[in-house]
Amino acid sequence: MNPETANAALVNRLLELTRRMERMQRSMRLIAASSRSAMRDHADYEHRRNAKENENEGSGV
């Protein structure tokens, strides 16, 4: 393989790996955002549940 062909092959491989890495990073950001959203939803649920329990305790139920 001549040097120019070898260089072109390396450049193409680097571009492919760069694109793959960018896709993985996007996926990781989406997963992280989804996880943060799930944690917020759970915290909201806990807050509402605790508020309801406190309300029930205050009313003598």
Query: Which residue, 31, 7, 60, 2, is CA-closest to 39?
Result: 31
**Amino acid 1: pLDDT:** 82
CA–CA separation, 20 and 23 (whole Å): 5
Q: What's the rounded mean pLDDT across residues 31-49?
A: 95
pTM value is: 0.62
CA–CA separation, 24 and 26 (whole Å): 5
**Amino acid 31: pLDDT:** 97
Q: What's the rounded mean pLDDT across residues 30-55?
A: 95
Contacts of 1 (CB under 8 A, 6+ apart): 9
pLDDT at 58 over 90: no
